[in-house]
Structure 1
Amino acid sequence: MRNFHITRVWGIPIRVNISLLVFLPVLAWLIGSGAQIAAYAGIVGALAGTELDISVLLAGSTPWVVGTLAAVGLFVSVTLHELGHAWAGMRYDLEVESITLWILGGLASFKTFPREWQKEFWIAVAGPITSVLTGVACYAILVALPANATVALFVVGWLAVTNLVLAGFNMLPAFPMDGGRVLRSLLARKRSYASATRTASRIGTSFAILFAVVGVLNFAPMLLLLALFIYAAASGESRTVALADLLEGLTVGDVASPTRLTIDADATVEELVDRMFAERSTEFTVTQAGEVVGVVTVADFKELSKAQREADTVADLMVTDLPRLDSAMSAFDALVELDTGRATSALVESPEGTHVVSREDFTSAMEMRRLERADGPF
């Protein structure tokens, strides 16, 4: 979904997802509803040391004002929470690509995430610590406000309570929430990073199922959405770490197969079909003047008639806009490049010439790694 850039903090782009813009009026209404105001007025009054006049909070359009201020304040708090993560990451010289606010909160995106348990631990806890400090700051403002500033007292007090709840909720060991990352970092002290991720992901999946059950029983769509997010994110990160572990230490040059089956770009498609039958292969590397220029597969010509196969050349069908990778690039980064470009193959440039690497090559390399160590991530 579309994101809108709103500002920069410490050079980090702050973006708002369209889901938040759509949900913000709903959130303002939910917070400013009579039930929410009545539920929190007593708590806020106890914190402020005075009794809040609920009739003032419910008069006219005041609930909308309260709801809007509280909703905006909540996402400012979420931004501060994510900036806490970003600040900790920057202390370890990590690049923060962006902070995105969306319907479920915020997300600080790092270009690379450290595998050292100490770094992950402090980056993970920095967000909840920031939320606690924000809550304390709101409480200090609450105490300093005059007793007759009813709306301001309620909003600031509500933010004080909400920030503390936000910190506590984020520390649940539901990977990949902050508490789940703290759990993984502690597990990684005495086991491999992949094994720690696998365990944390299983616990995160269990929490996702629990949230889903509670969400269904209590008709809470936000909890269901959170459950789906945790389940998908935990499963996805577990797979990513497992792949990275299997490909660790390999370059894309190591993974790429030597170019064996080639066909000239000027050959007819009919010649290509004959070669595929003879070689029992569905993919060929295409060359021109001895240089690799593309790839052609059976899918590229299966819709052609026999007449078209005799008239068209391989150059008319071959895929040439393949990613070009340096042979020294890490195998995992190369696989990410293929996924990002939705490509099935890539051209690998090396001092020995240009080769083609396919997803099948990565699969073969990972299978060999898996067979080498029975206790691997799979």
Structure 2
Amino acid sequence: MWNYRITSVWGIPIRINVSLLVFLPVLAWLIGSGEQITIYTGIINGFTPSPLDAADLRAGNTPWLVGSLAAVGLFVSVALHELGHSWAARRYGIGVDSITLWLLGGLANLETIPREWQKEFWIAIAGPAASVLVAAVAYGVVLVVPASLPVVTFVFGWLVVTNLVLTVFNLLPAFPMDGGRVLRALLARSQPYATATRTAARVGALFALGFAILGVLSFSPLLLLLALFVYGGATSESRLVALDTLLDGVTAADVMATDTERVTGDTTMADLATRMVEEGRTTYLVTGDDGTVAGIVSVDDFKRSRGKATSVEEAMDTNVPRITGETSLFDVYALMNRDRVNAAIVEADGDIQGVITSTEMTTALQIRREAGSVAPPRTAM
């Protein structure tokens, strides 16, 4: 939500979240403040052939120029970091849906999560490796920039320092950051994948607690936000892996409802409510004028549209995932969650075989839990 596409690389959409658009001017101001310029000038002078004068960089409107260029450069660096992850993922045949730049950095959204530990290790380490490469290129620029361009020298010197610091920070074993994923990959060499994830998530939670304490003591909202991100990410990943393990081996064909009923798009919501009560059903396929299935309407759609829609066509979900019977139930869950719908249509050669709703999903989970049917973990990510 609130993401804006700016370009694409290798066919991967690169988006900017509105939080970054709001934060960039603040970041530019922070970097361009006199104190920060003085501090970083001292560091950069340690490796630049042409020493910088902090007083010149702080004169007039130069701090704003320095801050703006450095802020944009930072998030270009973050994009390159995420492209490092994406390049490694694509090398393993894993698609990348998008890259999103936001307040706390970037996120590469992989189509699937690899479970072979080698794959996860190299995909995780590729991001920090890209950041080191960016730092090396920026250092090369610092070495050749003439002394008459102090702003350029400062900005690229700042990028050298920042990329190296972010590389070290990213490699902290705070799941779900890169270091946490590296930790999980190494643990998965000798442990079940779900166990390795739980261990990495616990370590991430401890780091989140540390970030929160530092945030309170230093009055840093960013550290508090980072703590929430790390804790939320670690918890969410742990739950997803547990769900994947629980549903291992279960396909859409195993749980789909085959006795599906249909309703036309021009059916009124009142008539739909009557049918639901009389037939004891909560989900119907919706057919168009040509008899083809145009979407799905469920009791949840009825509740959401009460008073807003008069016909099924106005209330139905049209962006319903269409899958095959061989699709794993976990992938079905991921698709429904991604598209924010509560049903998926199972097809074979264009013919509808059945429907999976949140009801079938919940039933399958209850049965697997009660039966204690957790399949042996696969070697992956």
Please tell me the residue identity of whatever aligns with 1:232. Answer: G
**Cα distance per residue 1:153-205 (max 9 Å; x no partner):** 22221111111001101001111111011011111111222221121112112
- Structure 2 counterpart of 1:23: 23
Which secondary structure does the structure 1 equivalent of 2:336 belong to?
Answer: helix
Cα separation, 2, equivalents of 1:173 and 1:349: 43
- Structure 2 counterpart of 1:327: 325
Alignment of 1:201-240 (within 5 A): 201-240=201-240
1:81/1:130 contact within 8 Å kept: yes
- Structure 2 counterpart of 1:126: 126
Deviates more, 1:323-332 or 1:71-80: 323-332
1:370/1:376 contact within 8 Å kept: no
- Structure 1 counterpart of 2:379: none
After superposition, the Cα gap between the structure-2 partners of 1:164 and 1:256, relative to the gap in structure 1 and judged at 3 Å, is same
Please tell me the residue identity of whatever aligns with 1:365. Answer: A
Q: TM-score, normalised by structure 2?
A: 0.81
Please tell me the residue identity of whatever aligns with 2:136. Answer: V
After superposition, the Cα gap between the structure-2 partners of 1:54 and 1:346, relative to the gap in structure 1 and judged at 3 Å, is closer
Cα separation, 1, equivalents of 2:61 and 2:314: 65
**Cα distance per residue 1:57-112 (max 9 Å; x no partner):** 11100111111111111112112211111121122122222222211111222212
- Structure 2 counterpart of 1:177: 177
Deviates more, 1:98-107 or 1:315-324: 315-324
- Structure 2 counterpart of 1:64: 64
Alignment of 1:134-145 (within 5 A): 134-145=134-145
Cα separation, 2, equivalents of 1:243 and 1:250: 11
Task: Figure out how many residues of one structure are paired with residues of the other and give that number.
Answer: 360
Cα separation, 2, equivalents of 1:333 and 1:207: 30
**Cα distance per residue 1:116-161 (max 9 Å; x no partner):** 1111101111111111122122223223333453322222211111
1:37 maps to 2:42: no
Cα separation, 1, equivalents of 2:315 and 2:3: 36
After superposition, the Cα gap between the structure-2 partners of 1:272 and 1:154, relative to the gap in structure 1 and judged at 3 Å, is closer
Cα separation, 1, equivalents of 2:6 and 2:313: 46
- Structure 1 counterpart of 2:248: 248
Question: Any gaps of 5 or more consecutive residues in structure 2?
Answer: 377-381
Cα separation, 2, equivalents of 1:48 and 1:164: 16
2:13/2:97 contact within 8 Å kept: yes
After superposition, the Cα gap between the structure-2 partners of 1:365 and 1:71, relative to the gap in structure 1 and judged at 3 Å, is same
Deviates more, 1:105-114 or 1:162-171: 105-114
Cα separation, 2, equivalents of 1:287 and 1:70: 53
Cα separation, 1, equivalents of 2:172 and 2:112: 24
Deviates more, 1:80-89 or 1:353-362: 353-362
1:294/1:318 contact within 8 Å kept: no
Please tell me the residue identity of whatever aligns with 1:106. Answer: G
**Cα distance per residue 1:334-360 (max 9 Å; x no partner):** 222333344444454569974443323
Shift of residue 268, structure 1, vs aligned partner: 9.2
2:5/2:15 contact within 8 Å kept: yes
- Structure 2 counterpart of 1:152: 152
Which secondary structure does the structure 1 equivalent of 2:176 belong to?
Answer: coil
Cα separation, 2, equivalents of 1:17 and 1:315: 34
Please tell me the residue identity of whatever aligns with 2:179. Answer: G
After superposition, the Cα gap between the structure-2 partners of 1:60 and 1:246, relative to the gap in structure 1 and judged at 3 Å, is same
After superposition, the Cα gap between the structure-2 partners of 1:270 and 1:229, relative to the gap in structure 1 and judged at 3 Å, is closer
RMSD: 3.6
Deviates more, 1:211-220 or 1:365-374: 365-374
Cα separation, 1, equivalents of 2:2 and 2:364: 37
Please tell me the residue identity of whatever aligns with 1:122. Answer: W
- Structure 1 counterpart of 2:83: 83
1:204/1:234 contact within 8 Å kept: yes
**Cα distance per residue 1:262-310 (max 9 Å; x no partner):** 899999966864665xxxxx7477999xx99977659959x99xxxxxx
**Cα distance per residue 1:39-60 (max 9 Å; x no partner):** 1111111122554211101110
Cα separation, 1, equivalents of 2:52 and 2:275: 86
- Structure 1 counterpart of 2:46: 46
- Structure 1 counterpart of 2:368: 369
Cα separation, 1, equivalents of 2:149 and 2:283: 76
After superposition, the Cα gap between the structure-2 partners of 1:114 and 1:275, relative to the gap in structure 1 and judged at 3 Å, is closer
